[in-house]
Amino acid sequence: MARQRQERAERTRAALIRAAAEMFDQVGYHGAGLNAILRRAETTTGAMYFHFKSKEELARAVIVEQAAELKWPSGKQGLQQLIDVCQYLAVEMRSNVLFRAGVRLAVEQSEVNLLNYSIYDWWAEQFGIHLAEARDLGQLRPEVDEAAFAQVIVAAYTGTQIMSRLSSARGDLPERIESMLRCLLPALAPPEVVATLEFPDNGGAPEVPQDADDAEETAS
Protein backbone atom coordinates (compact mmCIF):
# COMPACT_ATOMS: atom_id res chain seq x y z
CA MET A 1 0.00 0.00 0.00
CA ALA A 2 2.78 2.41 0.91
CA ARG A 3 4.52 1.64 -2.37
CA GLN A 4 1.33 2.30 -4.31
CA ARG A 5 0.93 5.67 -2.59
CA GLN A 6 4.53 6.54 -3.40
CA GLU A 7 4.10 5.59 -7.06
CA ARG A 8 0.88 7.62 -7.25
CA ALA A 9 2.63 10.60 -5.70
CA GLU A 10 5.49 10.30 -8.19
CA ARG A 11 3.03 10.19 -11.09
CA THR A 12 1.24 13.26 -9.76
CA ARG A 13 4.48 15.18 -9.38
CA ALA A 14 5.56 14.23 -12.91
CA ALA A 15 2.16 15.27 -14.29
CA LEU A 16 2.43 18.65 -12.57
CA ILE A 17 5.91 19.30 -13.96
CA ARG A 18 4.81 18.23 -17.45
CA ALA A 19 1.68 20.40 -17.37
CA ALA A 20 3.63 23.37 -16.00
CA ALA A 21 6.30 22.95 -18.69
CA GLU A 22 3.66 22.94 -21.42
CA MET A 23 2.01 26.08 -20.05
CA PHE A 24 5.27 27.95 -19.41
CA ASP A 25 6.44 27.04 -22.91
CA GLN A 26 3.25 28.36 -24.48
CA VAL A 27 2.58 31.54 -22.53
CA GLY A 28 5.54 32.15 -20.22
CA TYR A 29 5.64 32.25 -16.44
CA HIS A 30 3.28 35.18 -15.94
CA GLY A 31 0.78 33.93 -18.50
CA ALA A 32 0.50 30.46 -16.95
CA GLY A 33 -2.19 30.47 -14.28
CA LEU A 34 -2.00 27.89 -11.55
CA ASN A 35 -5.56 26.73 -12.16
CA ALA A 36 -4.79 26.14 -15.83
CA ILE A 37 -1.75 24.07 -14.86
CA LEU A 38 -3.84 22.00 -12.45
CA ARG A 39 -6.51 21.37 -15.11
CA ARG A 40 -3.90 20.25 -17.58
CA ALA A 41 -2.29 17.98 -14.98
CA GLU A 42 -5.74 16.67 -14.05
CA THR A 43 -5.02 17.05 -10.36
CA THR A 44 -6.12 19.13 -7.37
CA THR A 45 -4.79 22.12 -5.51
CA GLY A 46 -4.16 19.93 -2.47
CA ALA A 47 -2.11 17.47 -4.51
CA MET A 48 -0.11 20.33 -5.98
CA TYR A 49 0.71 21.81 -2.58
CA PHE A 50 1.79 18.39 -1.34
CA HIS A 51 4.66 18.57 -3.85
CA PHE A 52 5.19 22.30 -4.44
CA LYS A 53 4.52 25.25 -2.15
CA SER A 54 3.89 27.68 -4.99
CA LYS A 55 3.92 28.24 -8.74
CA GLU A 56 7.40 29.67 -8.25
CA GLU A 57 8.64 26.42 -6.72
CA LEU A 58 7.03 24.46 -9.55
CA ALA A 59 8.82 26.67 -12.06
CA ARG A 60 12.12 26.00 -10.31
CA ALA A 61 11.49 22.27 -10.68
CA VAL A 62 10.97 22.73 -14.43
CA ILE A 63 14.28 24.60 -14.64
CA VAL A 64 16.23 22.06 -12.60
CA GLU A 65 14.71 19.01 -14.31
CA GLN A 66 14.84 20.37 -17.87
CA ALA A 67 17.25 17.63 -18.99
CA ALA A 68 15.34 14.73 -17.39
CA GLU A 69 13.94 13.39 -20.67
CA LEU A 70 17.08 13.76 -22.78
CA LYS A 71 18.73 10.65 -24.24
CA TRP A 72 22.35 11.64 -24.74
CA PRO A 73 24.28 10.64 -27.85
CA SER A 74 27.02 8.14 -27.06
CA GLY A 75 29.88 6.30 -28.71
CA LYS A 76 32.15 9.27 -29.30
CA GLN A 77 34.66 11.09 -27.11
CA GLY A 78 36.20 14.47 -26.66
CA LEU A 79 35.43 17.24 -29.13
CA GLN A 80 33.41 15.02 -31.44
CA GLN A 81 31.14 14.09 -28.56
CA LEU A 82 30.84 17.77 -27.63
CA ILE A 83 29.69 18.55 -31.18
CA ASP A 84 27.22 15.66 -31.19
CA VAL A 85 25.74 16.69 -27.84
CA CYS A 86 25.39 20.33 -28.86
CA GLN A 87 23.66 19.43 -32.11
CA TYR A 88 21.43 16.91 -30.37
CA LEU A 89 20.34 19.58 -27.90
CA ALA A 90 19.56 21.96 -30.75
CA VAL A 91 17.19 19.43 -32.29
CA GLU A 92 15.66 18.45 -28.94
CA MET A 93 14.90 22.05 -28.11
CA ARG A 94 12.50 22.14 -31.05
CA SER A 95 10.46 19.14 -29.84
CA ASN A 96 11.14 18.45 -26.14
CA VAL A 97 8.70 20.62 -24.19
CA LEU A 98 10.25 20.06 -20.75
CA PHE A 99 13.70 20.94 -22.04
CA ARG A 100 12.46 23.97 -23.98
CA ALA A 101 10.36 25.31 -21.10
CA GLY A 102 13.19 24.81 -18.62
CA VAL A 103 15.56 26.73 -20.87
CA ARG A 104 13.02 29.53 -21.37
CA LEU A 105 12.47 29.89 -17.62
CA ALA A 106 16.21 29.80 -16.94
CA VAL A 107 16.70 32.70 -19.34
CA GLU A 108 13.71 34.70 -18.08
CA GLN A 109 14.05 33.91 -14.37
CA SER A 110 15.36 37.34 -13.39
CA GLU A 111 12.04 38.76 -14.60
CA VAL A 112 10.04 36.45 -12.33
CA ASN A 113 12.37 36.47 -9.31
CA LEU A 114 13.39 32.80 -9.53
CA LEU A 115 17.14 33.54 -9.50
CA ASN A 116 18.62 30.04 -9.66
CA TYR A 117 22.01 29.90 -11.38
CA SER A 118 22.67 26.24 -10.57
CA ILE A 119 21.35 24.96 -13.90
CA TYR A 120 24.01 26.94 -15.77
CA ASP A 121 26.72 25.42 -13.61
CA TRP A 122 25.22 21.99 -14.28
CA TRP A 123 25.37 22.50 -18.04
CA ALA A 124 28.95 23.77 -17.76
CA GLU A 125 29.83 20.56 -15.91
CA GLN A 126 28.32 18.48 -18.73
CA PHE A 127 30.30 20.31 -21.40
CA GLY A 128 33.36 20.20 -19.15
CA ILE A 129 33.27 16.41 -19.15
CA HIS A 130 33.77 16.35 -22.91
CA LEU A 131 36.48 19.00 -22.75
CA ALA A 132 38.32 16.95 -20.11
CA GLU A 133 38.10 13.93 -22.42
CA ALA A 134 39.45 16.07 -25.24
CA ARG A 135 42.38 17.06 -23.01
CA ASP A 136 43.13 13.40 -22.27
CA LEU A 137 42.99 12.66 -26.01
CA GLY A 138 45.47 15.45 -26.75
CA GLN A 139 42.94 17.44 -28.75
CA LEU A 140 43.08 20.76 -26.90
CA ARG A 141 45.50 23.63 -27.24
CA PRO A 142 47.84 23.80 -24.20
CA GLU A 143 46.50 27.18 -23.06
CA VAL A 144 42.82 26.13 -22.95
CA ASP A 145 41.17 26.27 -19.53
CA GLU A 146 38.48 23.58 -19.73
CA ALA A 147 36.33 24.94 -16.89
CA ALA A 148 36.38 28.49 -18.22
CA PHE A 149 35.66 27.36 -21.77
CA ALA A 150 32.74 25.24 -20.60
CA GLN A 151 31.16 28.38 -19.16
CA VAL A 152 31.79 30.19 -22.46
CA ILE A 153 30.00 27.41 -24.36
CA VAL A 154 26.99 27.65 -22.05
CA ALA A 155 26.86 31.42 -22.53
CA ALA A 156 27.25 31.16 -26.30
CA TYR A 157 24.63 28.44 -26.53
CA THR A 158 22.18 30.44 -24.42
CA GLY A 159 22.57 33.54 -26.57
CA THR A 160 22.38 31.57 -29.80
CA GLN A 161 19.14 29.81 -28.88
CA ILE A 162 17.57 33.13 -27.86
CA MET A 163 18.44 34.62 -31.23
CA SER A 164 17.09 31.55 -33.01
CA ARG A 165 13.87 31.66 -30.99
CA LEU A 166 13.30 35.28 -32.00
CA SER A 167 14.23 34.84 -35.65
CA SER A 168 12.65 31.50 -36.53
CA ALA A 169 11.00 29.94 -33.46
CA ARG A 170 14.21 27.86 -33.21
CA GLY A 171 13.71 26.45 -36.70
CA ASP A 172 17.28 27.35 -37.64
CA LEU A 173 18.83 26.44 -34.28
CA PRO A 174 20.92 23.46 -35.50
CA GLU A 175 22.47 25.61 -38.21
CA ARG A 176 23.17 28.44 -35.78
CA ILE A 177 24.74 26.04 -33.26
CA GLU A 178 26.94 24.59 -35.98
CA SER A 179 28.13 28.11 -36.86
CA MET A 180 28.77 28.83 -33.19
CA LEU A 181 30.86 25.70 -32.81
CA ARG A 182 32.83 26.34 -36.00
CA CYS A 183 33.77 29.74 -34.55
CA LEU A 184 34.76 28.32 -31.15
CA LEU A 185 36.59 25.17 -32.20
CA PRO A 186 39.74 26.91 -33.54
CA ALA A 187 40.22 28.45 -30.09
CA LEU A 188 39.97 24.99 -28.54
CA ALA A 189 42.00 22.81 -30.87
CA PRO A 190 44.76 23.10 -33.49
CA PRO A 191 43.79 22.95 -37.19
CA GLU A 192 44.78 19.31 -37.62
CA VAL A 193 42.36 18.28 -34.88
CA VAL A 194 39.53 20.52 -36.10
CA ALA A 195 39.89 18.98 -39.56
CA THR A 196 38.99 15.54 -38.17
CA LEU A 197 35.70 16.66 -36.60
CA GLU A 198 32.36 16.09 -38.28
CA PHE A 199 28.96 17.72 -38.13
CA PRO A 200 25.79 15.66 -38.67
CA ASP A 201 24.22 15.90 -42.11
CA ASN A 202 20.81 14.47 -41.10
CA GLY A 203 19.05 17.69 -40.21
CA GLY A 204 21.35 18.52 -37.35
CA ALA A 205 20.61 15.44 -35.26
CA PRO A 206 23.37 12.94 -34.40
CA GLU A 207 22.41 9.32 -33.99
CA VAL A 208 21.03 8.52 -30.55
CA PRO A 209 21.06 4.86 -29.44
CA GLN A 210 17.59 3.38 -28.99
CA ASP A 211 16.73 1.50 -25.86
CA ALA A 212 15.40 -2.02 -26.16
CA ASP A 213 11.70 -1.03 -26.06
CA ASP A 214 12.14 1.65 -28.72
CA ALA A 215 14.04 -0.78 -30.94
CA GLU A 216 11.22 -3.35 -30.70
CA GLU A 217 8.60 -0.75 -31.58
CA THR A 218 10.65 0.38 -34.57
CA ALA A 219 11.13 -3.19 -35.76
CA SER A 220 7.41 -3.92 -35.51
Q: Supply the CATH number for residue 26's domain.
A: 1.10.10.60
Residue 216 in this model has a pLDDT that exceeds 60: no
- From 64, 97, 118, the end of a domain falls on 64
Answer with the residue of higher pLDDT: 11 or 3: 11
Residues 108 and 160 in one domain: yes
Residue 212 in this model has a pLDDT that exceeds 70: no
Is residue 119 very low, low, confident or very high in pLDDT (cuts 50, 70, 90)?
very high
Is residue 215, in this structure, part of any structural domain at all?
Answer: no
Domain assignment of residue 23, given as a range: 2-64
Is residue 216, in this structure, part of any structural domain at all?
Answer: no
What would you report as the CA-atom Rg of the chain, rounded to the nearest whole angstrom?
A: 19
Residues 91 and 180 in one domain: yes
Is residue 39 very low, low, confident or very high in pLDDT (cuts 50, 70, 90)?
very high
Is residue 217, in this structure, part of any structural domain at all?
Answer: no
Residues 133 and 51 in one domain: no
Mean pLDDT over 83-102 rounds to 96
Is residue 14, in this structure, part of any structural domain at all?
Answer: yes
Mean pLDDT over 139-145 rounds to 98
Percent of the chain with pLDDT over 90: 80
Answer with the residue of higher pLDDT: 204 or 6: 6
- From 38, 64, 90, the end of a domain falls on 64
Is residue 7 very low, low, confident or very high in pLDDT (cuts 50, 70, 90)?
confident
Residue 158 in this model has a pLDDT that exceeds 60: yes
Is residue 139, in this structure, part of any structural domain at all?
Answer: yes
Residues 84 and 46 in one domain: no
Answer with the residue of higher pLDDT: 218 or 132: 132
Number of domains in the chain: 2
Mean pLDDT over 76-100 rounds to 96
Residues 42 and 89 in one domain: no
